Amino acid sequence: MKKTLTALLTAALVLSLLGGCTSPEAPTAGEETTAAPETTASADKTTEAPETTTEAAEETTEETTEEELSDQEKADAVAALIDAIYVQVRTEDTDEQCREAKEAWDALTDEQKELVEGEFADPDYFGRDTGDASKDDPRNADDIGENELLVVSFGTSFNESRTEDIGGVEAALAEAYPDWAVRRAFTAQIIINHVQARDGEFIDDMDQALQRAVDNGVKNLVIQPTHLMHGAEYDELSEAAEKYSDQFENIVIAEPLLGEVGKDAAEVNTDKERVAKAVAAAAVEETGYDSLDAAKEDGTAFVFMGHGTSHKAKVTYSQMQTQMKELGYENVFIGTVEGEPEETACEAVIEAVHEAGYTRVVLRPLMVVAGDHANNDMAGDDEDSWKSMFEASGYFDEISCQIAGMGRIDDVQALYAEHSGAAIEGLGIAAGEEGGNEDSKDAKNSLPDGVYKAEFHTDSSMFHVNEANKDMGDLTVKDGEMVIHVSLVSKKIVKLFPGLKEDAEKEGAVLLEPTTDTVTYEDGETEEVYGFDIPVPVLDEEFDLAILGESGKWFDHKVSVTKPMASQE
């Protein structure tokens, strides 16, 4: 609209000005001019006139256009620019789009800024005060060295939370492992764009951070997610890291905060216990009560609000409620914004707290970062916020909110540091070493107990992992012993032996029996094939494995297991 209006005004104004260019003294047809020098001078002046007139026309048109555009039209133009960068995909135009959006916002009056409203845009996008961005360290410097500890977070545009919560974890890891370069990546491009446009702070996304590591010659990469669990975001992180797995000598993903998911709501672990104790203690301290029991006697309940997820890892929230009960925290309740699992929905939690007889409620995020969900979904003034819904129930005398992420709690930071330490130890590289060596091989092959995804390679085009599993198997580590389960391409290999065929044929040899596995191909088709649990004596080196086919003949092969990455299972 603006361009069209500008063009029309420019055309009209230029025509008007040009129409008045003929001077009353100018000679008409048939009249003689005076001396040649005067004619030349007059011609020179005439040549300059159109340029001067055009510039004046453009300036006048721009002023006229700006005046004629309504306040709402100017606000709508800014809203469109904001909506354009509220996307999850970075492009070659992103930097320029972020700059344009901020410049357009700055050009609005305060009254016009209040009118900004788009699909995602609102006055708070640029206008809300979320703290001093200059206090945050984006940790995107080069000169990394051979060992990098990449801290991956979903991210937040709330400056104080980014500094205190995410920055708190990063600082704790940097202090714990001073010889490892701590760097940052966010997985939410929407947030990265928001921070860049508003504050001029550039934060790496996963691809940028991983490519930065490659360009800097990093050999050993430990990725520490600040995610709570092995959920959807953890899965996406793993997929992104896998694309770069052949660019490093070693790459491993450390455990998220709450550790392994477990099979049902009753299954808890030491990670969940430590987090439950830490977050409850922080909440009690902020209220001024001496203990949870003192708060209980005063009729006060604590409600910790998580995000929630449709991922199978949602059982984690139920496990945290189980953990609270096992610790005797009767006045602690777990909820989720998304209401998954169902018993964690706000309405369900309100009823549970009411039925338990509590009259005061303290709301606090069960999130590493106190960002948008904590400030808006939990503590906001809209009628669908948790604070408003608790108040609207009419059950309670007092509702208060604590805006603080778990990332700023010392015990939580220490737990993240331990997870990173376990991953570093699994690589066999002590803090302070520049790389692995022969003496560290035993340590390298002693991964922490757990389940990993790992590549299984063979020396044969006929004997390999089924294509549906893309060379990957499930590596289980327990008490220092490693076993990888792989699904093969058919049922034609009927036995395996960890060693040479001459030993497999000896009396008393212990052979590996097959399992029947169902694999699913990209087109959705399924097939039953044989799978095997294969002992792994060493990582990243070939070892002997004999196979027995349907023909009854044994064959020798060399196989290897490489690139273990913590599994989301």
In this prediction, residue 151 has a pLDDT band, given cuts at 50, 70 and 90, of: very high
Query: What is the reported pLDDT for 410?
Result: 95
pLDDT digits (tens, 9 = 90+) for 265-274: 998 999 999 9
Spatial neighbors of 565 by CB under 8 A, at least 6 apart, are 238, 241, 242, 245, 251, 252, 253, 452, 453, 454
Q: In 3D, which of 386, 380, 234, 401 has the Cα closest to residue 314? A: 234
pLDDT digits (tens, 9 = 90+) for 198-214: 999 999 999 999 999 99
pLDDT digits (tens, 9 = 90+) for 86-130: 999 999 999 999 999 999 999 999 999 999 999 999 999 999 999
Checking if the pLDDT of 246 tops 50, the result is yes
- Token pair, residue 272, equals 């969940």
Q: Give the HSE-up count for residue 272: Cα atoms under 13 Å, Cβ half-sphere.
A: 24
Other C-beta atoms closer than 10 Å to the C-beta of 565 total 19
Alpha-carbon span 479 to 161, nearest angstrom: 39
For domain 447-566, the CATH class is mainly beta
In this prediction, residue 14 has a pLDDT band, given cuts at 50, 70 and 90, of: very low
Does domain 133-253 correspond to CATH entry 3.40.50.700? no
Alpha-carbon span 402 to 430, nearest angstrom: 39
Checking if the pLDDT of 543 tops 80, the result is yes
Spatial neighbors of 309 by CB under 8 A, at least 6 apart, are 231, 232, 336, 338, 340
Q: Give the mean pLDDT of 323-334.
A: 97
Tell me whether the CATH fold assigned to 133-253 matches the one assigned to 447-566: no
DSSP 185-203: EES-HHHHHHHHHHH----
Query: What is the reported pLDDT for 443?
Result: 43
Query: What is the reported pLDDT for 429?
Result: 63
Query: What is the reported pLDDT for 24?
Result: 36
pLDDT digits (tens, 9 = 90+) for 450-488: 888 989 999 876 788 998 988 899 999 988 899 999 999
The alpha carbon dihedral of 169, 173, 174, 180 has a sign of negative
Checking if the pLDDT of 425 tops 90, the result is no
Phi, psi of 527 (to 5 degrees): -155, 145
Q: Give the mean pLDDT of 240-261.
A: 91
In this prediction, residue 9 has a pLDDT band, given cuts at 50, 70 and 90, of: very low
- As its CATH architecture, domain 270-367+371-404 has 3-Layer(aba) Sandwich (3.40)
The structural domains of the chain, with segments of one domain joined by +, span 2-17+33-68, 71-127, 133-253, 270-367+371-404, 447-566
Checking if the pLDDT of 49 tops 80, the result is no
Phi, psi of 191 (to 5 degrees): -75, -40
Query: What is the reported pLDDT for 41?
Result: 37
Query: What is the reported pLDDT for 567?
Result: 57
Checking if the pLDDT of 435 tops 60, the result is no
pLDDT digits (tens, 9 = 90+) for 483-536: 999 999 999 999 999 999 999 999 889 999 999 999 998 788 899 999 999 999
Q: In 3D, which of 477, 515, 442, 427 has the Cα closest to residue 260? A: 477
Cβ atoms 192, 161 nearer than 8 A:
no
What does DSSP assign to residue 218? -
Q: What is the amino acid identity at position 525?
A: E
The strand pair at 300-306 and 526-535 is best described as unpaired
Lowest mean pLDDT among 43-47, 65-69, 333-337, 363-367: 43-47
Beta bridge partners of 225: 152
| Residue found under tokens 């094939």 | 529
Spatial neighbors of 20 by CB under 8 A, at least 6 apart, are none
Please give the share of the chain, as a percent, with pLDDT higher than 70: 84
- Classify burial at 31, counting beta carbons within 10 Å of its beta carbon; exposed 0-12, middle 13-18, buried 19 or more: exposed
Q: Give the mean pLDDT of 167-180.
A: 96
Q: What is the amino acid identity at position 218?
A: V
Greater confidence (461 vs 85) lies with: 85
Phi, psi of 33 (to 5 degrees): -85, 170
Average pLDDT value for the chain: 86
